Amino acid sequence: MAIETKLLTITPAPHIKSKFSTTRMMSIVIIALMPAFIGSIYFFGFRALLITLISVASAVFTEFVYQKLCRKKVTVTDGSAALTGLLLAFIISPSVPLWLPVVGSVFSILIVKQLFGGVGFNFLNPALAGRAFLMASWPAFMTAEWMTPKSGTLSGIESITTATPLGALKLSGYSANVAGSLNSMESLKHLLLGNVGGSIGETSALLLLIGGIFLIITGIIDWRIPLSYIGSVFALYIVLFLTGVSQLTPIFHILAGGLMIGAFFMATDPVTSPITKKGRWIFGVCAGLLTVLIRQWGGYPEGVSYSILIMNMFVPLIEKYTLPKPFGRVRRTA
Amino acid sequence: MPKFFTFKGGIHPGEFKFTERDAIEDFVAPDVVYIPLSQHFGKPAKPVVKKGDKVYVGSLVGEPDGGFSASIHSSVSGTVKKVDKYHHFSGNMEQTVIIENDGQMEKDPAIKSAYSDSITPEKIIEIARDYGIVGLGGATFPASIKMSPPQGKTFDTLILNGAECEPYLTSDHRLMIEFPEEIILGALLIKKAINANKLIIAIEENKMDAVSVYEKIKDKYKFDIAILKTKYPQGGEKQIIKAILDREVPEGGLPVDIHTYVQNVGTAYALWDAVYNGMPLVKRIVSITGSVKNRKNLKVAIGTPISALIEHCGGYMGEAGKLITGGPMMGIALYTDEIPVTKGTSGVLIQRKEEMSLDEPTNCIRCGRCISSCPMDLMPNLLGDFSEFYKFEESKELGVLNCIECGSCSYVCPAKRHLVQLIKVTKAELKKKGR
């Protein structure tokens, strides 16, 4: 028989797909960072806006040029490069020279992300790796100069105006007075609101928390990582504070530095964190442990970025040992 | 507030049960019907008629080929035009009995009720085999084989599956509302045949009108009702057992290993028709839905070309892109509407060109949605990777053979990877190698 039927489209099932896409996911994360972005412009002024725009633009441009040159499909519209640029700007000082975020973004996108295969294949968080690169190459720009926020001091307390909260105690030679004022309600309020010195987008714990909770509610991130990460830092500092090892309270420690942005926006990066639920607990707790180790006994005042980068490298190992048990499988005896 | 049963994982696609309030209409069989000899899980039936033979409604046209096969009967009265290859839902041309309908719908003289109160389990199983009863939920597994467990294994509970968790489909829903006593009588026959002591009918909470129908007769016939949460794939055999009885079918095992038997409501109805009226399985309820002018639930003679149903429903709405037999999650896309309705055709869903989802897959961003959605606790992302790199053996330890191919992973994937398809490739490759 002659087949003159009008042929229809055939594809494998399922024939309906969720509207949720990579682009939508990246957009929601960018939206979640907007409170902190607006806060950063308020605290650090036009400089914060400028550095952020430069960082985002160079990240997107790098990805576009690389993919064009390699004749790959251009994927800048998925928003992942823009997000990397945004996050990188948020974790560098507002007083850096304007070329620094450009170099950082090129490193993040080209070396960390694209050379490993593009979105989904980078084994380190691109923004954090970019920051680590800048720290290693231009430490003076990255740590020496900070900007005093609007309506606040660099350290969040009156007596010290030359260091960020986490660096202040060390600078004072571990004075009990300084520790006392850092632990005060006044100082904690500044940490929560963000009128203290620090990187562009990391100073306000409250604004980051708003974004983080938004991400949990919209189902973009798994609550297990921020909870286990912040929880383990908090728990360890209870022990260290009560035993007198740390002069600063656990509350100070979870509000200060980059823990909030790290726990909600960096450690939860799906590409570089475990995909298994059990693995996410392990990842968060270990990152918390490393953060405390570096803050308390390391050479840097802050340990969030390195602890997440170190844990990124353990992800394949963690996943290997936390595979879920398939339905109906009985653990073999003997 | 009753307790709603459910399982871990799964997805919540839009329901789109447009036809849930449309009563079942009888569709008059067309002038020619095309009855494929392969309509069930197992070997195709062997034709027992030839060109020119006179057949009646219910006459045997194909007999089981060996133990793992099923009988096929004529759905009309008339003359066999030929037995030849014809369009088939599988995508291949398959042996098909083509019958010219004389329009008389004369029943085969041999058809008579076999029912008596003292009917034996053996007789019920024999009728199920001879009258072509197969699972009508979509898997089309021959019921007589399912009802005869391997030596030494027993059943205690029969779950009547009225979950109908696929979006769009309403054929089971309407059947449950319009023929409640018939379904329960059919289920009681299965219960007798498998010597179970408990009958539970399971219905999703989006069909509370059906639940209330069974509430009224549950004391008369002594059965229980389990209301399930509306979630896909709630009607999956392993998922429904886990939800209601909290029993887990062991890996590589069958429901009989945990003494449970699950059968679709449509199958129970078909068995009732076979035993009480002596009528083989020659008709089924089909939901015609999606982009068609008048969506309907039709009672259709097996072998009716889908094109005739669409014409009856006023034709396509817009330009037809995809024609899907079954639901949108696990249904098969057909290449032409000339393909006939078979025993497993629970619905016909039409998608317009602009409704088709034809996204190109992009890189996995490891969000883990596929893992959360997997009702079998597998790692679809990893299984997909292994399949892409031809590493089929590696998937075995991860339990790839447990995959029920529900498609939840593909549905949720933000990178639009064809996960379930990749897994199907692995399963086929492993099968080829003899596992």
Q: Which residue has the tokens 């928003």?
A: A79
In B127-192, beta strands by DSSP E:
157-162
The distance from CA B421 to its chain's CA centroid, rounded to whole angstroms, is 20
Q: Do A270 and B333 touch (CB under 8 A)?
A: no
Answer for the pair B420, B407: CB distance below 8 angstroms, yes or no.
yes
What's chain B's length in residues? 435
Q: Which residues of A touch B359 (CB under 8 A)?
A: 17, 21
Across the interface, of B14, B358, B369, the residue whose CB is closest to A11 is B358
- Does residue B42 register a pLDDT over 70? yes
Q: Are strands B93-101 and B32-36 parallel, antiparallel or unpaired?
A: antiparallel
Chain A residues touching residue B404 (CB < 8 angstroms): none
Q: What is the DSSP letter of A73?
A: P
Measured between CA atoms, the residue of chain B closest to residue A10 is B333
Q: How far is B366 from chain A (nearest CA, A)?
A: 5
The predicted pLDDT at position A27 comes to 97
Shortest distance, CA A304 to any CA of chain B (angstroms): 22
Query: What pLDDT band is residue A147 in, cutting at 50, 70 and 90?
Result: confident
Q: For the CA atoms of chain A, what is the radius of gyration? A: 22
Q: What is the mean pLDDT of residues A157-168?
A: 83
Break chain B into its structural domains and give their ranges.
Answer: 121-277, 369-432
Residue A2: predicted pLDDT:
43
Q: In this complex, which of A15, A25, A275 lies closest to B357 when CB atoms are compared?
A: A15
Q: Residue A9 and residue B377: Cβ atoms within 8 Å?
A: no
Topology of the domain covering B121-277: Rossmann fold (3.40.50)
What is the distance between the terminal CA atoms of chain A, rounded to a whole angstrom?
62
What pLDDT does A89 receive?
A: 97
Give the per-residue pLDDT at A334: 41
Q: What is the dihedral sign for C-alpha A52, A55, A58, A64?
A: negative
Confidence at B415, pLDDT banded by 50, 70, 90: very high
User: In a mutagenesis test of the A interface, which of B362, B396, B403, B416 is the best target, namely the one with the most A β-carbons within 10 Å?
Assistant: B362
- Inter-chain touch A120–B371, beta carbons under 8 Å: no
The whole-angstrom distance between residue A9's C-alpha and the CA centroid of its chain comes to 44
CB under 8 Å to B105, separation ≥6 — which residues?
B29, B57, B76, B77
pLDDT at residue B67 in the model:
86
Q: Above pLDDT 70, what percent of chain B?
A: 99
As a whole number of angstroms, the distance between CA A315 and CA A276 comes to 10
Helix/strand/coil (H, E, C) string of A116-146? HCCCCCCCCCHHHHHHHHHHHHCHHHHHHCC
ipTM of this complex prediction, to 2 decimal places? 0.90
Q: What is the pLDDT of residue A269?
A: 96
- Contact across the interface for A12 and B418, Cβ inside 8 Å: yes
Tell me the sheet residues that pair with B348: B288, B325
pLDDT at B203: 97
Q: Residue A167 has what pLDDT?
A: 85
Q: What is the average pLDDT across B23-51?
A: 96
Does the beta-carbon distance from A324 to B324 stay under 8 Å? no
Express each pLDDT in B343-390 by its tens digit. 999 999 999 999 998 889 999 999 999 999 999 999 999 999 999 999
Residue B112: Cβ-neighbour burial (10 angstroms; 0-12, 13-18, 19+): exposed
Segment B311-321 mean pLDDT: 93
Give the mean pLDDT of chain B.
Answer: 95
- Residue of B335, B382, B417 to mutate when probing chain A, most A C-beta within 10 A: B335
pLDDT in tens, A10-46: 999 999 999 999 999 999 999 999 999 999 999 999 9
Report the distance separating Cα A93 and Cα A51, nearest Å.
9
Task: List Cα–Cα distances, A32 to A77, A209, A230, in angstroms.
Answer: 18, 9, 19
CB–CB contact B420 A12 (8 Å): yes
* pLDDT value of residue A4: 53
Instruction: Average the pLDDT over B219-242 and give the result.
Output: 95
Note the pLDDT of residue B281.
97
Q: Beta-carbon neighbour count of residue B185 at 10 Å?
A: 18
The pLDDT value given to residue A169: 84
B267 three-class SS: helix
8 Å CB contact between B46 and B411 = no
- pLDDT confidence of A332, banded at 50, 70, 90? low
Tens-place pLDDT, residues B172-181: 999 999 999 9
Nearest by CB to residue A326, choosing from B321, B402, B405, is: B402
B371:A324 CB<8 A: yes
Across the interface, do B378 and A7 touch by the CB < 8 Å criterion? no
Confidence of residue B435 (pLDDT cuts 50, 70, 90): low
Nearest to B365 among A16, A119, A325 (CB): A119
Smallest CA–CA distance from B333 into chain A, residue: A10
Record: contact B329-A15, CB cut-off 8 A = yes
H/E stretch holding B63 reads: strand B60-63
Q: Which of A17, A25, A121 sits opposite B357 (nearest CB)?
A: A17
Write the residue in B248, B365, B411 that is nearest to A14 by C-beta.
B411
Domain limits of chain A?
23-144, 165-318
A14 vs B contacts (CB less than 8 Å): 328-330, 407, 410-411, 420
Q: How much is the pLDDT for A151?
A: 78
Beta strand B198-204 with B157-162 is parallel
pLDDT at residue A161 in the model: 79
Short-list B70, B272, B268, B249, CA closest to B158: B268
pLDDT-based confidence at residue A331 (cuts at 50, 70, 90): low
Residues of A in contact with B376 (CB under 8 A): 326-328
Mutate to test the interface with A, among B310, B377, B420 (most CBs of A within 10 A): B377
pLDDT in tens, A229-278: 999 999 999 999 999 999 999 999 999 989 999 999 999 999 999 999 99
Nearest chain B residue to A19 by CA distance is: B414
Tell me what pLDDT residue B1 has.
45
Q: What is the mean pLDDT of chain A?
A: 92
List the single best residue of B15, B292, B324, B370 to mutate versus A (max A Cβ within 10 A): B324
Chain A interface with B: residues with Cβ < 8 Å = 3, 5-18, 20-22, 24-25, 75, 78, 80, 117-121, 222, 270-271, 275-276, 323-330
Residues in B closer than 8 angstroms to A15, CB to CB, are 322, 324, 328-329, 331, 333, 349, 351, 356-357
Bridge-based pairing state of the strands B296-301 and B25-26: parallel
In this structure, how many other beta carbons lie within 10 angstroms of the beta carbon of residue A305? Answer: 25
The 10s digit of each residue's pLDDT in B274-294 is 999 999 999 999 999 999 999
Minimal CA separation from B92 to chain A, in Å: 13
